[in-house]
């Protein structure tokens, strides 16, 4: 076991008991932005698995884990997410839809669709891979019209806070 350094590459064994990769430390999710509309978050851990700085590619892959009662910020941006759930149960607001998520479910978030990931289910964390372009724009909060519309829609209101 142990991280095997392949010349120019890498094998990081996964430890199922800890549900972590050897040698992959946590990186901050983002600065607290709780005072901007919907940008608060809670109980979220972020692990960067690969970036254009660590592999000769244009993309970045992260693993996010959300604890019970946790949630990501409600945000939007031009870049897309490609998500594959690895563990637990979750729920996502994407655009004006809410989808329930289980292991290995696949989700794409469209450009500029407001989105938020929340834990659902029991005590197991909700964990998912998220692949993005390495070169991408920064998230911004939803605008006031989106905030009002999503908050007024009974399908989405519970995820708008």
The one segment of 27-35, 66-74, 102-110, 138-146 that binds a copy of itself by CB under 8 A: 102-110
Tokens encoding 91: 């729920």
Tokens encoding 144: 């006031």
Residues sharing a CB contact under 8 Å with residue 23, sequence separation 6 or more, in sequence order = 3, 12
- Nearest distance, CB of residue 35 and a copy of itself, angstroms: 29
DSSP for residue 73: P
13 binds a copy of itself (CB under 8 A): yes
156 binds a copy of itself (CB under 8 A): no
Which residues are tagged catalytic? 130
b (16+ CB within 10 A) / e for 135-157: eeeebebbeeebbeebeeeeebe
Q: Given candidates 107, 118, 150, 159, which one binds a copy of itself under the rule CB under 8 A?
A: 107
17 binds a copy of itself (CB under 8 A): no
The rounded distance, in Å, linking the Cα atoms of 16 and 90 is 20
- With contact defined as beta carbons under 8 Å apart, do 12 and 18 qualify? no
155 binds a copy of itself (CB under 8 A): no
Contact footprint for a copy of itself (CB under 8 A) = 4, 6-14, 16, 21, 24, 49-50, 54-59, 61, 78-80, 82, 84-86, 92, 94-97, 99, 101-111, 113, 129, 131-133, 135
């Amino acid at each position: 076991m142990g991280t095997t350094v392949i010349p120019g590459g890498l094998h990081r064994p996964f430890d199922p008991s800890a549900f972590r990769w050897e040698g992959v430390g946590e990186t901050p999710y983002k600065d607290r932005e709780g005072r901007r509309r919907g940008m608060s978050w809670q109980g979220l851990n972020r692990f960067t698995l690969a970036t254009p700085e660590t592999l000769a590619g244009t993309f970045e892959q992260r693993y996010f884990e959300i604890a019970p009662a946790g949630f990501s910020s409600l945000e939007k941006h031009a870049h897309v997410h490609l998500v594959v759930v690895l563990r637990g149960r979750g729920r996502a607001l994407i655009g004006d839809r809410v989808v329930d998520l289980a292991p290995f479910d696949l989700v794409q978030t469209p450009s500029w669709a407001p989105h938020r990931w929340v834990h659902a289910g029991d005590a197991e964390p909700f964990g998912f891979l998220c692949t993005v372009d390495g070169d991408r724009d920064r998230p911004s909060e939803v605008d006031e019209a989106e905030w009002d519309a999503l908050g007024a829609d009974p399908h989405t209101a519970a995820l708008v806070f």
